[in-house]
Structure 1
């Protein structure tokens, strides 16, 4: 092999490159409008805050828990058609917002269409991305996918800010057009190498022995811990710094995620699962402690540490879930979405009560200290549960030959 030649496994195929570019555009369009949805429903359509919260909770439940439908749909119609169907639903949903901006009922229906499309798309997208790729290539592909999604998440809200309140109809029409164009591109993707089949799921045959940790459970717990940061940093940071500084922290967070995850992917893949838990939750605990310290520096450093924790845990959970299951990848990723939804829901419920209690006690910093303690305890509990399971299961041991 000549030194100039790039190894084949280091390249992206044309379909993979298109999917990564499409992932960026899809998330750019989605996050141009979805972060402002509570404002539109409340201020423009007149829904009460309580009703807005209920609507957004239902939409989130559809978006996350609906991922379990992606596997059966892909098994029946294939990954490419699943993605096309999902994009058609999202295109119709964003287009329906244009006439729906004068009445809450069609607007809510449009939001549910968008959420249903999101539930179908991401598991099929990730499954198509890794289709036919060796296990060693999965960290690179999944980390690149995450970077593309996060780049869109970072740029979507500022790109839409000039239009979201003044001309929302124009914004939704542009987003619907963007999704329609990306959907047309998906129709030209080649058929996946291995059509998803409905199979009995279990451990893949011939797979190496792995720790007894459940990727589903670890994903629930990982998202539960992380979403305290996602849900409640604004309430804490804006009064202590400024809205502008908070926005800079979020953009820096997204930029770090986009750059660092591909660079760390192979290292994360090489970590044992227990080591990844210690690194990931340890970084989250340190980040929560830094935020509790308050001030501009503490919040920025805390965000960077939380970013490291997210990179390690979220990528490792997906890799372990794929490696441990004989199910089609779309089914695996759908279950991971369900786990993320459960974790996010639990974090919202617990976090609201915890933050209210901390504020009533006169110290919002106590909230972050309490979350830091949880991040320290959670890997200990997960690993002790794994040890207890290992002791309760019969071990295959070598029996000495006593016949001679």
Structure 2
């Protein structure tokens, strides 16, 4: 006979279902990304081929737009503090809706098109930190991994489906495409206007210790900065994003490369929610070892070449992304006393710095590897970086703890 449950053995924690506002935001995240990626991946083609803007100018415009989208996330905290989460999301969606609407007459005006793109980027910079903050604000820390992983899956599903959905219209009838995207964003914005002003209502949670309370104090002062780890995580990962096409298409085919990207997106959408609680349970040093280790193995597999190597490498990179990106956000939230919108804004800035550095360094590395007649050497060097980076971070952690030890003993 099973013994009666006592206060000392409360049994497994019951998961609380997502609230109505949270479910709406998750669905909205998918639709927003679907609409955005129906347009944004084709911007270089539209600006250059349809409007006749030179490639150098196109590159500069896209670089500025990316900088606004990532670095602009740091303004989310002050804006949310002043006007609140719901109004911040509404402001962001208003900017994006106006930007997509301006593309319709802007298809014959380079100046209007560039201005429209910058409006869309500014809206994106504000929306994502506010969206994530609304999702997690007021929720138990134990529920955050499920929410953030579900949010990431929604965004990635939209990213995967947006470009093929827009392909039939993007060159032949771009005005129709932009009008449809504008209408979609207007509807989503109207839905956001109905959200509660405060945080979503949730049933009262169990009075169990949060992850932050249960974690050893020494580990929380481990010297591992989530901002720095995020910069390096995105830096390492973006070599795969930026340069896989250059390597894979000549050695396989464009169709196979497209299939790898589709499979990658599908695996990310499905696997991240399934692994969320396991990732949350890892210590930060263990997450670094698993995440960077998976990336290193993935880069090595891609360097081995062939269809199998590239496919396996993509799957391993997906695992590395799931572990590192989710854990970095969770640790940033747990270690900061700032509002969640400010935390997520800083994480966006870290991602922008990492992506920029990867683009600069990767171009030089890949060019040198091609000049040496061995593109595989590029992946070997990147693999080595994925092994060195966590080792350097963990060495920095041990050094920081060693310096803190004597001071703690003397108190």
The 5 Å alignment of 1:2-401 reads: 9-193=15-199, 208-209=216-217, 210=220, 211-394=222-405
* Superposition deviation, residue 385 in structure 1: 1.0
CA distance in 1, matches of 2:398, 2:286: 14
TM-score of the two chains, using structure 1 as the length reference: 0.93
Which runs of no fewer than 5 residues in structure 1 stay unpaired? 1-5, 195-203
* 1:16–1:129 CA contact under 8 A, matched in 2: yes
Give distance in 1, aligned partners of 2:39 and 2:290.
Answer: 34
Q: TM-score, normalised by structure 2?
A: 0.91
Secondary structure of the equivalent of 1:9?
coil
Tell me how far apart the structure 2 counterparts of residues 159 and 125 of structure 1 sit (CA, whole Å). 25
Query: Which range is displaced more, 16-25 or 365-374?
Result: 365-374
- After TM superposition, where is structure 1 displaced by more than 4 Å over at least 4 residues in a row? 204-208, 394-400
**Alignment partners' CA distance in 2, 1:393 and 1:66:** 35
Q: CA deviation at 1:395?
A: 5.1
Shift of 1:180: 0.5
User: Deviations 1:27-47 (Å, cap 9, x if unpaired)?
Assistant: 000001111111111111111
* Cα offsets for 1:244-301 (capped at 9, x unmatched): 1111110100000000000000000000000000000000000000100111111111
How big is the shift at 1:355? 0.7
Coordinate RMSD, CA, aligned: 1.8
Corresponding residue number in structure 2 for 1:200: none
C-alpha distance after superposition, 1:290-334 (max 9, x if no partner): 100111111111100000000000000000000000100000000
For the residue of structure 2 that corresponds to 1:393, the secondary structure is helix
Contact 1:289 1:372 survives alignment (8 Å): yes
Gaps of 5+ in 2: 1-11, 201-211
Alignment size in residue pairs:
386
